[in-house]
Structure 1
Amino acid sequence: MKFAIAIRNMGPQSNRATIRACARIAEQAGFDALFVSDHLCIPVDQTEGSGGRYLDVLATLAFLAGATDKIRLGVSVLVVPYRPAVLTAKQVATIQELSGDRMILGIGVGWMKPEFAALGADFRKRGAITNETLSVIHHLFSADAPGAYDGPLVKFPSFAFLPRPRHPPIWIGGNGAAAMNRVLKFGDGWHPMLPAAELKVKVEQLNARARAAGRDVPEIVVRRGLKLEDIGAARAKVAAEKEAGATYFILDLGRYPDEQSFGKSVETFMTKVAN
C-alpha cells in the first residue's frame, strides 16, 4: 500500500508559507503524493472550517510543483463539470509538464447544487459533462496532432495541443455504478468514499470486470482521517482498508492549525502507523 497526505488549501492554513512548508514536510517524510480539495464557490452557510477561503486546486498544484521536487501532486477530487473541457485539459497538461510528470488527476461529478448554480453549470448534466470531459482529455493526450472532436456536448476543430506530456493517472471518484463504469472506460484508479466493510465486495466486483475486459485492475484509493493518539487503532484501521482491497491510502489530518502540528502528525504516522 502506498501512502499520501491531504494538504489544506482552505481556511487560514491555506496561506503561501504554510502550504509550501506542509508540502515540503510531506515530501521529506516520504509520502508518495500530496492532495488538495476542490471548491470554487462555497455558500455562506457552508463555510465552517474554511471561513469561505479556498485556493483553486489547479493553481495550487502549479505553485506546489515549483516548491517540491519528487512528491506527486494530486486532486481529491477535481469537480469536472465546473470547468470547460479543453481548458481543463490544457491546465492539466501544463501542470504535468512543469512538474515533471508528477500529477495525479482525481475527478468527480460534484454534489453541491449552490456551487453549480454560482458557476452556471448544469447540475442535471454533471455525469454527462464529466464523461465528455474525460473523453476530450483522452483525445487530446492521445496523438501528436489531435484531430477534430465532435461529441454530444463538446465540439472543436483540429488544433495544436502542446505541450503534450505523458498522460497523468486518472482516478475516478464516486461510489456508485456510474463511477465504476467510468473507471473501466476512462480511469486508472477508483477513489470511492465507502467504509471498508462496504468496499471489499465492490472492489472484488470491479477487479473482476477489469480482468474480464482484459485490462489492468485499477488502483483503489481511500482517503481517511485517523486518531493518531491511539496508534493501535490507527494501525488496525489502515490494515482493514488494505484487507478491503485498498492499494492507496490518503491520510487526512483534518483541521490542523499550522505546519508544526502537521509535521508532528506526519512523523507519528510515518514512524508508528505506516511502517
Structure 2
Amino acid sequence: MKFAVAIRNMGPQSNRATIRACARIAEQAGFDALFVSDHLCIPPDQTEGSGGRYLDVLATVAFVAGATEKIRLGVSVLVAPYRPAVLTAKQVATIQELSGERMILGVGVGWMKPEFAALSAEFRRRGAVTDETLSVIHHLFSADVPGAYHGPLVQFPSFVFMPRPRRPPIWIGGNGPAAMNRALKFGDGWHPMLPAAELKAKVEELHARARGSGRAVPEIIVRRGLKLDDTAAARAKVAAEQEAGATYFILDLGRYPDEKSFGKSVETFISTIV
C-alpha cells in the first residue's frame, strides 16, 4: 500500500507560507503524493470549516509543483462538470509538463447544487459531462495533433495539443455503479468514499469486471482520517482498508491549525502507524 497526505487549500491554512511548508514536509517525510480538494463557489451556508475561502485546485497544484521536487501531486477530486473539457485538458497537460510528470488526476461528478448553479453548470447532466471530459482528455493526450473530436456534448476540429507529456493517472471518484463503470472505461484507479466494511465486495466486483474485460486492475484509493493518538486503533484501521482491497491510502488530517501541527501529525503517522 502507498501513502499520501491531504493538504488544506481552504480555510486560514490556505496561505502561501503554510501550503508551501506542508508540501515540503510531506515530501521530506516520504509520502508518495500530496492531495488538494476542489470547490469554486461555496454558498454562505456551507462555509463551516473553510470560511468560504478556497484556492483554485489546479492553480494550487501548480504552486506546490514549484515548491517541491519529487512528491507526486494530486486532486481529490476535480469536479469535471465545472470546467470546459478542452481547457481542463490543457491545464492538466501544463501542470504535468512543468511538474516533471508528477500529477495524479482524481475526477468526480460533484454534488453541491448551489455551486453548479453559480457556475451555470447543469447538475442533472453532470455524469454525462464528466464522461465527455474524460473522453476528451484521453483523445487529446493520444497524439500531438489529435484528430477532430465529435462527441455528444463537445466537438472541435483537429488542433496541435502541445506540450503533450504522458497522461497523468486518472482516478475516478464516486461510490455507485456509474462511478465504477467510469473507472473501468476511463480510469487507472477507483477512489470511492465507502467504509472498509462495504469496500471489499465492491473491490472484488471491480476486479472481476476488469479481468473479464481484459484490462489492468485499477488502483483502489481511500481517503481517511485517523486518531493518531491511538496507535493500535490507527494501525488496525489502515490494515482493515488494505484487507478490503485498498492499494492507496490518503491521510486526511482534518483542520490542522498550522504547518507545525501538520508536521507533528505527519511524523506520528510515518513513525508509529506505518
Q: Same fold (TM over 0.5)?
A: yes
Q: Where does residue 184 of structure 2 map in the other structure?
A: 184
- Identify unmatched segments of 5+ residues in structure 1: none
Q: Where does residue 116 of structure 2 map in the other structure?
A: 116
Q: Where does residue 39 of structure 2 map in the other structure?
A: 39
Distance 1:152 1:212 in 2: 28
Tell me the number of residue pairs that the alignment of Structure 1 and Structure 2 aligns: 274
Q: What amino acid is aligned across from residue 235 of structure 2 in structure 1? A: R
Distance 2:184 2:63 in 1: 32
Equivalent residue of 2:190, what SS? strand
- 2:2/2:249 contact within 8 Å kept: yes
Q: What amino acid is aligned across from residue 200 of structure 1 in structure 2? A: K
* CA positional deviation for 1:259: 0.2
Q: Where does residue 257 of structure 1 map in the other structure?
A: 257
The CA RMSD measured in Å over matched residues stands at 0.4
* CA positional deviation for 1:55: 0.2
Distance 1:97 1:194 in 2: 33
Distance 2:191 2:119 in 1: 25
Deviations 1:162-188 (A, max 9, x none): 000001000000000000000110000
- 2:143/2:161 contact within 8 Å kept: no
Q: What amino acid is aligned across from residue 134 of structure 1 in structure 2? A: L
Q: Where does residue 153 of structure 2 map in the other structure?
A: 153
Equivalent residue of 2:222, what SS? strand
Distance 2:144 2:7 in 1: 35
**1:11-26 alignment runs, 5 A limit:** 11-26=11-26
Equivalent residue of 1:198, what SS? helix
Distance 2:194 2:123 in 1: 23
- Identify unmatched segments of 5+ residues in structure 2: none
Q: Where does residue 91 of structure 2 map in the other structure?
A: 91
Q: Where does residue 271 of structure 2 map in the other structure?
A: 271
Distance 2:143 2:55 in 1: 32
Distance 1:271 1:87 in 2: 41
* CA positional deviation for 1:144: 2.4
Equivalent residue of 1:78, what SS? strand
Q: Where does residue 174 of structure 1 map in the other structure?
A: 174
Q: What amino acid is aligned across from residue 26 of structure 1 in structure 2? A: A
Q: Where does residue 102 of structure 2 map in the other structure?
A: 102
* CA positional deviation for 1:143: 1.4
- 2:9/2:55 contact within 8 Å kept: yes
* CA positional deviation for 1:155: 0.4
Q: Where does residue 222 of structure 1 map in the other structure?
A: 222
**Displacement over 6 Å in runs of 4+:** none
Distance 2:225 2:254 in 1: 7
Aligned-residue identity in percent: 86
Q: Where does residue 57 of structure 2 map in the other structure?
A: 57
Q: Where does residue 132 of structure 1 map in the other structure?
A: 132
Distance 1:270 1:76 in 2: 21
Equivalent residue of 1:223, what SS? strand
Distance 1:144 1:98 in 2: 17
Deviations 1:229-267 (A, max 9, x none): 101000000000000000000000000000000000000
Q: What amino acid is aligned across from residue 260 of structure 1 in structure 2? A: K
Equivalent residue of 1:171, what SS? strand
Q: Where does residue 2 of structure 2 map in the other structure?
A: 2
Distance 2:249 2:96 in 1: 22
Deviations 1:112-139 (A, max 9, x none): 0000000000000000000000000000
Q: Where does residue 28 of structure 1 map in the other structure?
A: 28
Distance 1:218 1:147 in 2: 28
Distance 2:48 2:196 in 1: 27
Deviations 1:20-39 (A, max 9, x none): 00000000000000000000
- 2:27/2:70 contact within 8 Å kept: yes
Equivalent residue of 2:77, what SS? strand
